[in-house]
Amino acid sequence: MELRKYENIGEQVLFDTLPNGLAIYVIPKKGFFKKVAFFGVNYGGSDRRFKLKGEWHDTPAGVAHFLEHKMFDKKDGNALAALSANGASPNAFTSSGITAYHFECTENFEANLRILLRFVSEPYFTDESVSKEQGIIAQEIRMTEDNPQHKVFQNLFRSLYAYNPIRDSIAGTVDSIAQITAQTLYYCHEAFYNPSNMVLCVAGDVDPQIVGSVAEEILPKAKSEVAVRDYGAKEQQFPASAKTEEAMEVAVPLFMAGTKLGGGLRGKDRQRNELLGDFAMNLLLGKSTPLYARLYAEGLINSSFFGGTTFFPDGAAAIVGGESRNPDAVCEAVMEEAAKIASKGPDKALYQRLKKAALGEEIRALNSLYLICNRQMTGHFEDYDPMDNIKIMEEITAGDIVEFIGSSLSPEKLALSVIRPSKGGK
C-alpha cells in the first residue's frame, strides 16, 4: 500500500488500487477503540440515464435508493441483522451521486468487513420481495411528500433547474418506483456495483493488510466497464422560475432560496469551491454576523435560519432558508448584504475570527472516524484529497470571498420556494 503523510495535520493514509479497480483507503488511528468501514458506490439518485456497452438506458426515478434498501436482503437472511448480531452498528444512505454502506464496531472487525463486502457485491432479488418493498417505500414517499421541509427543498430545485435530475426526489415517486422490477435492480447493480466504480474506506486501529486481503478474496477479480452518465441538457445561468409557493400545514411560513453555482467541477476546483462556498455563506449570514443579529432582532428569522452550499452531479447551489413571517424581506436583506460585501469586502475582524473557527472545525473533524471515511469516499469519487482541506482553507483570502459572493449571489439569479400556512392549518 502507498503511504501518504500529511505533516501539517499529523495524519497518514494508506492507499491501494486492486487489480479489479477497487480503491482502498485505510486511515490508521492507533489507540482508537472504534473502527469504521465505508463501502461506497459512485451511483446515486441522479444517475438515471447512462450508457453501457454502447447503449443508452433510462431508468425510473428512485432506483438507486430502492437498490440500497434491497441490498440487505440475502437468500439466507438479512445482512443488517447479521452485522447487528456481530456487534456492529450498520447503516446506509443514498444521495444524489453516491450510495454508501457502512458500519462501526469495537470488535469482530474482520468478520463484519466480510459481511459488508459480501452482501453489497452479491445481489439477491425476487419479484415477491421487490413488490413488498414497493409498498414500504411508497409509504415513505407519501410521508415525505407531506413533509414541508422536504417539499420546500424540492420546490426550490425545481425552480432552479430545468433539466438536472436534482429536480426530482432521490426516492422517486409512487408511480416511478412501481416501474422497478427485480431485473431493473440486477441490471443497475451490474452497471454500477462493480469494483472499478467503488471505494472502500476504513478508519481505526486496524491491520491494513487484512483490509486488502479480505477485499481481494471476496470481491470480483476482473475490472468492469464504468457507465457514462447523462444529467440532462445544459442549464442556463438563471433559474427556471423565480418563485414557487405552496400551502401546507405549517405554523409559520417556511422558505428556501438559492442560486446556481455552475456544474461539472471536479478535482481541486470542486474541493476549493465547496470550502470557499460554505465559508463565504457563513461570513455573509452565519450566526456570528451582523445580518443574522439584525434579522433576528427584527423578528424576521429564528434559530432555524441557515445558509450554505450543496454540490451534486453536474450542479451546485448556494442556499439559505428557515422559518420567516416575511421570506421576501429576508431574501432582500441577504442580497443587499451580499452586494455590500462584494463592493466593500468583508469585515476584517469577522473574517479572521470565522476563518479560525472554520479551521478549528476541520481539525476536530479528524477525530470523527465516520466523517473521515465519508469525506475520503466523496473525495475519491470527485478526484480530490480531503486531507488537503485545511491547507486549502488556509489559502482562502478575503478577495476570494468577495469574488465568490459577487459572482454567485444577485437578485436576478435567485429562486425562492415558500411553504405558507394553509387556510385550514394551524
202 contacts 27 by C-beta, under 8 angstroms: yes
Decide: 260 and 317 in contact? Cβ < 8 Å: yes
Distance CA 314, CA 290 (A): 34
Return the pLDDT at 424.
57
Write out the H or E segment, with its range, that includes residue 211: helix 208-218
Nearest CA to 358 out of 294, 239, 276, 421 is that of: 276
Take residue 222 and report the three cell numbers written for it: 476482473
Residue range 171-196: mean pLDDT, rounded: 96
pLDDT in tens, 301-349: 999 999 999 999 999 999 999 999 999 999 999 999 999 999 999 999 9
286 vs 296: CA distance, rounded Å: 12
CA distances from 352 to 172, 271, 423 (A): 43, 21, 47
The C-alpha cell 472516524 sits at 369
Interatomic CA distance for residues 117 and 38, integer angstroms: 10
Angle between helix 398-408 and helix 327-344 axes, rounded to 10 deg: 130
pLDDT of res. 262? 80
Dihedral of the CA atoms 408, 410, 413, 418 (nearest 10)? 110
Q: Domain ranges for the chain, please list them.
A: 2-229, 243-421
How do residues 191-233 score in pLDDT, each as one tens digit?
A: 999 999 999 999 999 999 999 999 999 999 989 999 999 999 9
Q: What percent of the chain has pLDDT over 90?
A: 95
- Which residues belong to the active site? 68
Please report which confidence band the pLDDT of residue 159 belongs to, taking 50, 70 and 90 as the band edges.
very high
For 310, other C-beta atoms within 10 Å of its C-beta total: 18
**Same fold flag, 2-229 and 243-421:** yes
- Computed over every residue of the chain, the mean pLDDT equals 95
Q: What is the pLDDT of residue 76?
A: 85
pLDDT of residue 426: 44
What cell was used for 147?
Answer: 413533509
- The 10s digit of each residue's pLDDT in 108-130 is 999 999 999 999 999 999 999 99
Q: Reply yes or no on whether the pLDDT at 425 is more than 80.
A: no
Q: What is the mean pLDDT of residues 281-300?
A: 96
- The CATH superfamily label for domain 2-229 reads Metalloenzyme, LuxS/M16 peptidase-like (3.30.830.10)
Cβ atoms 355, 279 nearer than 8 A: yes
- Span 243-421: which CATH code? 3.30.830.10
pLDDT of amino acid 229:
95
Q: What band does 77 get if pLDDT is binned at 50, 70 and 90?
A: confident
- pLDDT of 99 reads 98
Mean pLDDT over residues 65-85, rounded? 93
Residues 66, 180 contacting (CB under 8 angstroms): yes
Mean pLDDT of 3-16: 95
Torsions phi, psi of 111, nearest 5?
Answer: -65, -40
CA distances, 41 to each of 92, 138, 197, 200, 341 (Å)? 11, 24, 6, 9, 40
Per-residue burial over 398-410, b if 16 or more Cβ lie within 10 Å, else e, is: beebbebbeebbe
Looking at residues 158-182, what average pLDDT do you find? 96
Can you say whether residue 322 is alpha, beta or left, with left for phi > 0 and alpha for psi between -120 and 50 degrees?
left
- Cα 268 to Cα 222: distance, rounded to the nearest angstrom: 30
Please tell me the distance from the alpha carbon of residue 25 to that of residue 369, in angstroms, as a whole number: 13
Contact in structure between 27 and 33 (CB atoms under 8 Å): no
Q: Taking Cα atoms as reference points, which of 151, 225, 236, 216 lies closest to residue 194?
A: 225
pTM of the model: 0.94
Q: What was the pLDDT predicted at 264?
A: 80
